[in-house]
Every structure is written in C-alpha cells, then in structure tokens.
Copies of this chain bind each other. A is one copy, B any other.
C-alpha cells in the first residue's frame, strides 16, 4: 500500500515538475510615456530586422561561392608594314600566345624580334660594367646577372667606338632598348573575343552559362557587347574592353599590360527573386605609373627554334609585348535557409528582451527614487 502511494506521489511530483508551467508575475504599468518609448524601440528593432537584415543584407540566406570555367576565342587579323620589319600578315595562330589557356588570353601587340640567333660568342651590349680596355678587364667564366652571357675573358670591339667583354650566349644579342613608339599590331583594337563562361554553385546544384537561354544563335553571330544596347552579348571588341577600363588601347599596346574582365555572378536564388544574370566590368590590373613600379607593362620572351640542313640549331627570339586579358569570375549566391534566419531573428529578439528589462529597471528605479525623495521631504 505504502509503496503504491509512494509511487503515485512520485509520479505526481514528476508530472508537476514536467508540466507545471512557471511564468514570471508581471505588472501592467499604464504609463503612456514609458509605453511609447518602449513601443518605439520595439519598432526600431523590427525595422532593423525587416529592413536591413532581410531586405538589404539578406541575412536569412545561406551562401555559396561560385566555381567556373572559361573558354575564349579571339577573331581578327592584321597586316603590318613598318620601316623596321618586312610586310607581314598576322592571324590568330600568330598573335595568341599560348594558343589556348583557361581564364586568360594574351594578345601580342608589339615586339622586339632578334632573328637568326645561334649558340656562339659575341661582344656584350655596352654598359658601365661590360666595357673594357683589354682582356684583363674580362674574367673567363664570370657571369654578371645583369649581363647576357658567360664571359670568355676576351675584350672585343662592339662598335668602332666601344669595346666590351665577349660573352658566350645566343648571338647576336637582343637589343630591346629601342622599342617602337607605336604598337606594331595597331589593328588589334578591332579584334573581337567570344567568352564562354559556365558557372556552378555546388551547394545549391545550380548551373548557368553566360550565353542566356533566351538568346538565339543568329543573334550571337552578329552581336557585340555594349553596356546599353547588348548587355548580354558574350562577344567583346578589345578596344571597347580597354576603354571601359578607362584606358587607351594604343597607349596600352606599346608596352603591354594586364586587363581584368570581371564577371560578377552574385545571385539571389530564391524563387521570388529575379533571374540570375552575369554582370561584366573591366579594370586594368597592372600598375601603369612609372613611379613605385618595376618592369612596367607586360612582356615575356619566347623563341621559335629552327634546324638548318647541317643540323645547327638557330632560333628567333621574340620579346612579346601585349595585353593579357584575365577573365575573373566571382560571386556569391544566397538562398533562404532556416539556420541564418533563426540566428538573426533570435539575436533581434534577445535585444527586444533586453530593451524591455532595462527600460523597466530604469522606470522602477526612477519611481523608487522619487518615493525616497518624497519620504525625505516629508
């Protein structure tokens, strides 16, 4: 019996413990002033949540960063006929180096060509450290990092007026100081490039291409990107890209440079948001100012190797100046998710509680202070 009673008592206590609903006693204070301030603060917090968190920052969303692939295809040809070089016709296979790469392409616009180089020895280019009077000034086997080869220990006539140390190198040496003032491939500004970009937001399993679904093939064959009239055409005129970046093509073509084609895929993937579209922008990425700079512009050296009938290897060294276009794809997509929503609402709620509590404490303290003062004055 006693055990049975005890069991019931225990059970009851447990039910009480589990389901008794404990709640703070509250006072209702009919004060218009405090009430107004409280409601106003509440209003501010709600405004913050609705206006800033939800509309501006979209903090209720889970986010993911873009992964992308890019293919580019340049079109155009040029004919050069300057006093220094032979007349020559240039097409894509000549001026795009290397012929393919991902995320960037290089367009040759200017060059210093040194043909018929062979492995031999020749006098160094004159400079304070290479000029010599006789063989004693030249040390066999020395290699000056600013020089062009390994010294043979001989002092040779570079010209009728200058004598320099002889070096073992690809001879004749490249003379890259007299770069043409005007770019060689002036016509490069009218080349066009087709950029195909395919992106993925893996977290949302979302795929998209920069060639939009509603665009048809015939439009793509004749369109050209323009921010106002054709903002979704993936074919860009090089001159247009450079001028949108605030630069002059002919200016940039002389010494080369790096130009960023930025594709922003920032998207709101909730169904009530609009379509997800790429936004193009262009920016020069290298430093064109001569101060606080080293090796301005953009250039690199490469060689074409030939073998003569007797088996001797000759090469044509080319110092290529040009514009490297880097296609940079970036962006963040957001989609409604319960966790950030709860986190943001929860944070706002705890501020509301704080406001409520602190305001009451203030109110009650003020009142008790007044009462104390009243008591004292009595």
Contact = CB atoms under 8 A, between A and B. Distances in A.
Interface of A: 15-16, 18-32, 34-36, 38-39, 48, 52-53, 57, 59, 65, 67, 69, 71, 73, 75-77, 79, 87-89, 91-94, 96-104, 106, 119, 143, 145, 148-150, 168-170, 187, 190, 192, 194, 196, 198, 200, 202, 209, 211, 213-217, 220-221, 234, 258, 260, 262, 264, 283, 285-287, 290-295, 298, 300-309, 314-315, 317, 320, 324, 326, 328, 330, 337-339, 342-351, 353-354, 356-357, 359-361, 363-364
Leading 5 A-B pairs by shortest Cβ distance: A346-B347, A19-B35, A23-B360, A99-B302, A24-B24
A29 B25 contact: no
B59 A32 contact: no
B76 A145 contact: yes
Given A198-B286, A211-B294, A306-B307, 10 more contacts: A22-B28, A23-B356, A24-B25, A79-B143, A100-B302, A100-B324, A217-B294, A221-B294, A346-B348, A347-B347
Contacts of A346: 346-351
A150 B298 CA distance: 29
A169 to B, nearest CB: 5
A149 B89 contact: yes
Contacts of A209: 287
A93 B345 contact: no
A119 B89 contact: yes
